[in-house]
Amino acid sequence: MSTTALTGIGLLVTHDPELGELPDAALVIDDDRIVWVGPAAEVPDADESSDLDGRCVIPGFVDSHTHLVFAGDRAAEFEARMSGQPYTAGGIRSTVAATRAATDEDLTSHAAGLIAEMLASGTTTTEIKTGYGLSTVDEERSAHVASRLSGDVTFLGAHVVPPEYADRTDDYVALVAGPMLEACAPYCRWIDVFCDRDAFDVDQARTILTAGAARGLGLRVHANQLANGPAVQLAVELAAASADHCTHLSDADIDALAGSPTVATLLPGAEFSTRSPYPDARRLLDAGATVALATDCNPGSSYTSNMAFCIALAVREMGMTPAEALWAATTGGARALRRDDVGVIMVGARADLVALQAPSPVHLAYRPGVPLIAATWKGGQPITAIGG
Ligand code: NIG
Ligand code: FE
């Protein structure tokens, strides 16, 4: 196996509490892992070497919440929303119709295209949810497609109730918690429920999440995106890895998150794209909650794949410092996926790295919309050539 040294790193942001931030740094990659990190002057010999010419290096972004398996788009719905129409969960059903009509090949190539877009913008780990199939066969297809692109696949059969089960929600909950879960679980690490106004209530969510846990899946919850409700408390009670959205939070919700291992995953692309008030990241952080940032990439509420954009929104609109937002988009995402091999630069971690066309990560929010991702390495493999 050959080793590669990355030298000339102007600033290395590790998120390893012992290493912190290192000026004038270098690191060495062996296969898919980091095997040495330290001052540039002390870098050991390696088979190959690449000089980053003073660029800042950060961990690759960890996008812990996406919905990449779908067909079609909802640009017309977005356009209508920007003219005053409200966002409702009902729009999901139009993507369900398009997804059911698409072939496996179409779904795979479309999702792979989004993954490529993400890699080029610095995202090296991507969770992918099902949730636009909503029949046993179409959810299993979606889970299978997702499993070819990510090790963190989430079964979201409980996204909304599909039209053929209108007025038979209990029957749909039984299907999701029974045969649909059985069909999808082999492809999945996680189960999620959209527990909110116009979606699933807390009892239905508990039934589905408990069935998923019994089948060996970890828990995540779409919680309190559209309205205040019991979903955050449910996530904490069931020790879910993450409560996602957290747009509407009571004091009790914040206390519950702060006193628990459940990560609050904030998705500011959704508030941007639905023209909604942003979640109060500052209150969560000040209370001691662990906060992650993710894109929520989906065709309805947040059709962005760009973590740097979410960092800029979190800093400008949600009261996060640039350092807190970068941590949330890397290490925070890893915590939300209960992973310690990504989101951090240290010996033994995966060599998932981003070199910025900037001297510091503050520029991600300071220069919003500017393509600052000079190069990405995923598992030690360079994805984007510098200048390319
Ligand atoms: O996370 N909230 C539920 N699901 C998605 C929206 C999906 C859609 O509108 O298609 C979300 O925002
Ligand atoms: Fe979502």
150 Cβ inside 6 Å of ligand 1: no
Which residue minimizes the CA distance to atom 12 of ligand 1? 301
pLDDT tens digits for range 62-75: 999 999 999 999 99
pTM of the model: 0.97
273 Cβ inside 6 Å of ligand 1: no
226 Cβ inside 6 Å of ligand 1: no
Asked whether the beta carbons of 237 and 214 are under 8 A apart, the reply is no
Report the separation in Å between the CA atom of 74 and the middle of ligand 1, taken as the mean of its atom positions.
12
Which residue minimizes the CA distance to atom 6 of ligand 1? 301
Report the separation in Å between the CA atom of 1 and the middle of ligand 1, taken as the mean of its atom positions.
43
How confident is the model at residue 89, as a pLDDT? 82
Q: Which H/E stretch holds residue 352? A: none
From 246, 273, 276, 301, the mutation candidate for ligand 1 (largest count of ligand atoms within 8 A of CB) is 301
How confident is the model at residue 90, as a pLDDT? 84
Buried b (16+ CB within 10 A) or exposed e, 210-230: ebbeebebbbbbbbbbbeebb
All CATH 3.20.20.140 domain ranges of the chain, comma separated, are: 61-336
Report the separation in Å between the CA atom of 221 and the middle of ligand 2, taken as the mean of its atom positions.
9
Report the separation in Å between the CA atom of 118 and the middle of ligand 1, taken as the mean of its atom positions.
19
Query: Which residues in the chain land under pLDDT 50?
Result: 385-388
How confident is the model at residue 298, as a pLDDT? 98
All CATH 2.30.40.10 domain ranges of the chain, comma separated, are: 3-59+343-382
Residue 195 Ramachandran class (φ > 0 left, ψ -120 to 50 alpha, else beta): beta
298 Cβ inside 6 Å of ligand 1: yes
Buried b (16+ CB within 10 A) or exposed e, 259-290: ebebbbbbbbbbbbbbebebbbbeebbebebb
Instruction: Report how far apart, in Å, the C-alpha atoms of 83 and of each of 31, 80, 87, 103 are.
Output: 51, 5, 12, 34
Which of the ligands is closest to the CA of residue 270?
1
Asked whether the beta carbons of 115 and 147 are under 8 A apart, the reply is no
Which residue minimizes the CA distance to atom 3 of ligand 1? 194
Instruction: Return the CATH architecture of domain 3-59+343-382.
Output: Roll (2.30)
Give the pair of three-digit tokens for residue 340: 């310690």
Q: Which residues contact 99 (CB under 8 A, 6 or more apart)?
A: 69, 70, 71, 72, 107, 132, 133, 138, 142
From 64, 65, 67, 99, the mutation candidate for ligand 1 (largest count of ligand atoms within 8 A of CB) is 67
Q: How far apart are CA 372 and CA 357, in angstroms?
A: 5
Q: Spell out the alpha helix ranges (H) of 102-230.
A: 104-120, 136-147, 169-175, 181-184, 202-214
Which residue minimizes the CA distance to atom 8 of ligand 1? 300
Asked whether the beta carbons of 352 and 124 are under 8 A apart, the reply is yes
Report the separation in Å between the CA atom of 375 and the middle of ligand 2, taken as the mean of its atom positions.
28
225 Cβ inside 6 Å of ligand 1: yes
Q: What top-level class would CATH report for the domain 61-336?
A: alpha beta
13-19 contacts: CB < 8 A, separation 24 or more? 13/56, 13/57, 13/58, 13/59, 13/326, 13/345, 13/361, 14/59, 14/344, 14/345, 14/346, 15/59, 15/327, 15/330, 15/331, 15/343, 15/344, 15/345, 16/344, 16/345, 16/346, 18/346, 19/345, 19/346
pLDDT tens digits for range 306-349: 999 999 999 999 999 999 999 999 999 999 999 999 999 999 99
How confident is the model at residue 365, as a pLDDT? 98
How confident is the model at residue 227, as a pLDDT? 96
